[in-house]
Amino acid sequence: MCNFNAYQYAKEKFASIGVDTEAAIEKALTVPLALHCWQGDDVGGFDSDMALSGGIQTTGNYPGKARTPEQLMADMDVAIKNIGGVLKLNLHASYAIFQKGEFADRDALEPKHFAPWVAFAKERGMGIDFNPTFFSHPKAAEFTLSSPDEEIRRFWVDHGRACLRISEYFARETGIPCVMNIWTPDGYKDIPADRIGPRARFAKSLDEMLAEPYDHSLVFPCLESKVFGIGLESYTVGSAEFTLSYAAKKGIMPLMDNGHYHPTEMVSDKIASLLLFNDKFALHVTRPVRWDSDHVVRLDDETREIAKEIVASERIDDFALALDYFDASINRVAAWIVGARNFRKAMLDALLMPHADWKALQTSGRMTELLVAQEEWKTLPAGEVWAEYCRRAGIPEDGAWLPSVLNYERDVQLAR
């Protein structure tokens, strides 16, 4: 065994381009990432047996899916131990936990229905983010917040208000602010006659919902847009223009999901514009393959470019970062881990870039040098810095976590 210290070598390599790996690791360890509970059970939830609706789909039938809160929490624990760093728990309202014989419809959900989740998060030192669930429900068969049926519309407004109260409860209990993301699948398969009517009703419903009193320093509502869904190919009520305009006017956060645009549109290019006009900005990091397929996040070019924009903006702390993917064709716990680790790697890589130097090359028009610098950066030993990050985060290095997850699959998941 030689005494060669790979991290030391990497540290020197990065120092030679003016990058401090210690500072990069330190910062990377503190950036919160919201871990989506819904990867563990194919967006199933616990409040009904209804199939997943809303134009989103999981495909695959890999065995071992979590079917109870206990199973989902156990699976999530395995994921958390292999992801490490600062994580938030990201819950959907449909993951309410009822006692035996108890039930509350979405408009009547209360903090107590999430008490076990609060206990789970507190034990692990995690904050909680929240999402009202405007799908997989009998009253979501057609439209929700933009429904022309006043009773249905009111039901969903009341759901949103209940969720704001629950979000505030999460923030108070954990001591960490709660980001509450609003996404509805409302839309039409075919060309509508009236595009403005549903959007006007949506705006009215959001106004009514956000009129619920909540502590603005503890709860940060945000609004997610989408260009289309399965069965909603021609028109979505919550389009990009609608959500951006509404969020700007009402001073709530916009949320961009990188699966929610036309295939050649890149969220990485949109981030800077949004930052100029918003104090805070939320992202759903996912991987669309030909459609909003929510594949597991890879360490691909767009994921890297998104991370680069976050870091280069010098406003990392103004982002609410969340994962949003669900793959039922592979081990769901491994999917959580590899996707989360990939995003973390992208963030660490971005922290290892000499942004000030690169910006200076751009500003002075030295684009040839910039191209060469960016390309040659790619073969620097960032993997060794990641390995050091893992050691400091107390998580297994690459190559060392999958065997234990496969043992868990054999002993626990397949035994369900």
- Name the nearest CA neighbour of 315 among 271, 268, 266: 271
Could you give the angle at which helices 115-123 and 69-83 cross, rounded to 10 degrees?
20
For residue 107 the two structure tokens come to 């408009």
- Establish if 226 lies at the interface with ligand RNT (CB under 6 A): yes
Q: Which CB, 37 or 387, lies closer to ligand RNT?
A: 37
Catalytic residue among 38, 117, 183, 401: 183
Kindly state whether residue 295 participates in binding ligand RNT, applying the rule CB under 6 A: no
Site string for ligand RNT, 335-364 (x = CB under 6 A): ------------------------------
Nearest to 381 by CA among 27, 3, 13: 13
Which one of ligand RNT, Zn ion, none interacts with residue 292, CB within 5 to 8 A by kind?
A: ligand RNT
Residues 302-331 that bind ligand RNT (CB under 6 A): 324
Give the other-Cβ count within 10 Å of 193's Cβ: 6
- Catalytic residue status for 183: yes
* 284 is an interface residue for ligand RNT by CB under 6 A: yes
Answer for which of 292, 384, 388, 409 binds ligand RNT (CB under 6 A) is 292
Inter-residue contact 244 to 225 (CB < 8 Å): yes
- Torsion on CA atoms 352, 357, 359, 364, rounded to nearest 10: -160
Residues 219-258 binding Zn ion (CB under 5 A) are: 257
Q: Which of 113, 153, 284, 295 binds Zn ion (CB under 5 A)?
A: 284
> In angstroms, rounded to a whole number, what is the distance separating the alpha carbons of residues 54 and 230?
8
Active-site residue identified among 324, 327, 388, 409: 324
Find the catalytic residue in 137, 226, 270, 345.
226
Confirm whether 38 is a catalytic residue.
no
Q: Where are the alpha helices (DSSP H) in 278-400?
A: 301-312, 332-351, 355-363, 367-377, 382-393
CA distance 164 to 100: 25
The reply to whether 257 sits near ligand RNT by the rule CB under 6 A is yes
Question: Which tokens is 213 given?
Answer: 């009193």
Catalytic residue among 284, 295, 308, 345: 284
Look up residue 18 and give its two tokens.
């003016």
Catalytic residue, chosen from 75, 129, 186, 257, is 257
317 is catalytic: no
- What's the token pair of residue 259? 């699966």
Does the active-site annotation cover 216? no
Among 183, 214, 281, 408, indicate the residue that binds ligand RNT (CB under 6 A). Answer: 183
d(CA 173, CA 191): 46
47 counts as binding ligand RNT under rule CB under 6 A: no
Min dist. Cβ of residue 324 to Zn ion (A): 4
Q: How far is the CB of 238 from ligand RNT (least distance, A)?
A: 10
Examine residue 158 and tell whether it contacts ligand RNT (CB under 6 A). no
Output DSSP code: residue 225: -
Residue 47 catalytic? no
The residue annotated as part of the active site, out of 42, 158, 168, 294, is 294
Q: Is 107 a catalytic residue?
A: no
CB of 66 to ligand RNT, least distance (A): 15
Determine which one of 47, 129, 186, 224 is catalytic.
224
Partner from Zn ion, ligand RNT, none binding residue 131, C-beta < 5-8 Å depending on class: ligand RNT
Which residue in the set 129, 158, 292, 324 belongs to the binding site for Zn ion (CB under 5 A)? Answer: 324
Residue 226 touches which member of Zn ion, ligand RNT, none, C-beta under 5-8 Å by kind: ligand RNT
Residues 6+ apart with CB under 8 A from 13: 380, 381
Is residue 260 annotated as part of the catalytic site, yes or no?
yes
- DSSP line for 237-292: SS-HHHHHHHHHHHT-EEEEETTSS-TT--HHHHHHHHHHH-S-EEEEE-EEESEE
In 3-state terms, what secondary structure has residue 331?
Answer: coil
Task: Give 38 or 358: the residue with its C-beta nearer to ligand RNT.
Answer: 38
Contact (CB, 8 A) for 219 and 172: no
Token pair of 390, please?
């893992």
What residues line the site for Zn ion (CB under 5 A)?
Answer: 257, 284, 324
Enumerate binding residues for ligand RNT (CB under 6 A).
38, 43, 56, 131, 183, 224, 226, 257, 284, 292, 324
Residues acting as catalytic residues = 183, 224, 226, 257, 260, 284, 292, 294, 324
